[in-house]
């Protein structure tokens, strides 16, 4: 570091700041330090830095899947927010399993991250115990704390930070929309069945009960991972069981897109014969034929806000347990031509 400082014409402390917190020095100084580092082949030691500062400049980020676009968007928001502050994400994939999440979290904590970002609030008692033992900040994403402290594993202290939106309200919005469009025989198709999917299904059910149109026999729920192919298959199964169905809510856009493709193959007019609605407003939803009605969820914004909350906690070590905070970023009902 002293060699880089001499080559760049700055102090060793300035080199340290430029490498750890690039936004803390001017662009001109940062460019000189980066050029000198490249020329001298200098790579700062994370181990030495952690020993000196009691920080590893890493953040554990646990997500269910690397193939689901929802979590790729969330990761993008986390990365773009952490990076200017010198933090790097340690990504752990849990496969939607609470027990697997606990194992991944234990492995990530062995690296002494300066903060933790988790998906949802469906954790094992062991995971909740681990989280309560931490002195670093923790943020939960894609969900909101429940009333009565249930968001902390039922222990009642409610001391969790969450960034997300109401899955229940979003499901209710879709159900109410289909009922308001005059549809009377409305079905539900869902896969994966993680807690967030179940919450949006609950919202859909409540909307249809309120409209006097809920028929549990028209629900088709499977544990399989969602995909376009599965959407096509489940559409045929749903219509074979109930040919008079006039609307379907599919709990993910990939399922809904598969259903739309299969409707085209089978000659089923959408929305004249069958209304179709999805969830998440993934890439391509606005370009299907017809364009897909769905719920837009703020995945990238959730990642950005979660990282911001985490940085605020990590930069204020005097406040080892940040005040609980629930950030509701909402959702948007995107009414398009399939309904």
Which DSSP category does 162 fall into?
Answer: E
Q: In whole angstroms, give the CA distance from residue 13 to residue 2.
A: 9
- Burial of residue 279, with CB atoms counted within 10 A of its CB: 0-12 exposed, 13-18 middle, 19 or more buried: buried
pLDDT digits (tens, 9 = 90+) for 73-105: 999 999 999 999 999 999 999 999 999 999 999
Q: Provide the token pair at 90.
A: 């340690």
The pTM of this model reads 0.82
* pLDDT value of residue 156: 39
152: left (phi over 0), alpha (psi -120 to 50) or beta: alpha
Q: In whole angstroms, give the CA distance from residue 29 to residue 334.
A: 47
Q: In whole angstroms, give the CA distance from residue 320 to residue 138.
A: 11
CA atoms 110, 111, 115, 116: torsion sign: negative
Q: Provide the token pair at 226.
A: 């969602």
Q: Provide the token pair at 271.
A: 């929305």
* pLDDT value of residue 318: 44
Look at residue 122 and tell me whether its pLDDT is greater than 90: yes
In the block, tokens 């936004």 appear at: 23
pLDDT digits (tens, 9 = 90+) for 128-174: 999 999 999 999 999 997 543 344 444 334 578 999 999 999 999 99
Q: Where are the beta strands (DSSP E) in the chain?
A: 58-63, 88-93, 116-119, 138-141, 161-164, 186-190, 219-221, 247-250, 275-277, 294-296, 325-328, 332-334
Q: Report how far Cα 149 is from the mean position of its chain's Cα atoms.
A: 22
Q: In whole angstroms, give the CA distance from residue 169 to residue 156.
A: 24
Which DSSP helix (H) or strand (E) runs through 128?
A: helix 125-133
Per the model's pLDDT, the better-predicted residue between 190 and 25 turns out to be 190
User: What's the alpha-carbon Rg for the chain, to the nearest Å?
Assistant: 24
The closest of 189, 246, 236 to 213, measured between CA atoms, is 246
Domains of the chain, CATH where assigned: 2-44 (no CATH), 56-165+300-331 (3.40.50.2300), 167-296 (3.40.50.2300)
pLDDT digits (tens, 9 = 90+) for 13-66: 999 888 877 888 999 999 999 999 888 888 776 555 544 555 789 999 999 999
3-state SS string for 21-76: CHHHCCHHHHHHHHHHHHHHCCCCCHHHHHHHHCCCCEEEEEECCCCCHHHHHHHH
CB 120 within 8 A of CB 98: no
Which pLDDT band, with edges at 50, 70 and 90, does 323 fall under? low
SS3 content of the chain, % helix, strand, coil (to 5): 50, 15, 35
Q: In whole angstroms, give the CA distance from residue 241 to residue 330.
A: 35
CB 141 within 8 A of CB 77: no
pLDDT-wise least confident of 166-170, 195-199, 314-318: 314-318
């Amino acid at each position: 570091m002293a060699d880089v400082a001499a080559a760049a014409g700055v102090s060793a402390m300035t080199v340290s700041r430029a490498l750890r917190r690039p936004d803390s020095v001017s662009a001109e100084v940062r460019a000189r330090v980066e050029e000198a580092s490249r020329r001298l082949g200098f790579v700062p030691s994370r181990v030495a830095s952690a020993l000196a500062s009691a920080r590893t400049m890493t953040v554990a980020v646990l997500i269910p899947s690397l193939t689901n676009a929802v979590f790729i968007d969330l990761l993008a928001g986390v990365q773009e927010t952490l990076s200017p502050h010198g933090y790097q994400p340690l990504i752990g994939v849990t496969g939607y399993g609470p027990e697997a999440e606990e194992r991944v979290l234990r492995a990530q904590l062995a690296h002494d991250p300066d903060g933790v970002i988790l998906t949802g609030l469906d954790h094992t008692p062991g995971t909740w115990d681990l989280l309560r033992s931490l002195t670093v900040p923790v943020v939960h994403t894609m969900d909101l704390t429940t009333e009565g402290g249930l968001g902390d594993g039922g222990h009642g202290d409610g001391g969790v930070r969450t960034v997300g939106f109401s899955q229940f309200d979003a499901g209710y919005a879709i159900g109410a929309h289909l009922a308001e469009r005059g549809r009377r025989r409305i079905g539900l198709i869902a896969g994966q069945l993680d807690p967030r999917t179940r919450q949006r299904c609950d919202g859909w059910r409540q909307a249809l009960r309120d409209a006097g149109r809920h028929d549990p026999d028209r629900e088709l729920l499977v544990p399989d991972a969602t995909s376009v192919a599965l959407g096509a298959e489940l559409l045929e199964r749903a219509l074979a069981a109930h040919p008079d169905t006039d609307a379907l809510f599919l709990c993910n856009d990939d399922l809904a897109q598969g259903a739309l493709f299969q409707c085209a193959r089978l000659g089923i007019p959408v929305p004249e014969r069958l209304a179709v609605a999805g969830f998440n407003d993934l890439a391509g939803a606005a370009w299907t034929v017809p364009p897909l009605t769905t719920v837009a969820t703020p995945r990238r914004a959730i990642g950005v806000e979660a990282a911001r909350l985490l940085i605020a906690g990590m930069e204020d070590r005097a406040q080892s347990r940040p005040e609980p905070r629930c950030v509701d970023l909402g959702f948007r009902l995107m009414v398009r031509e399939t309904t």
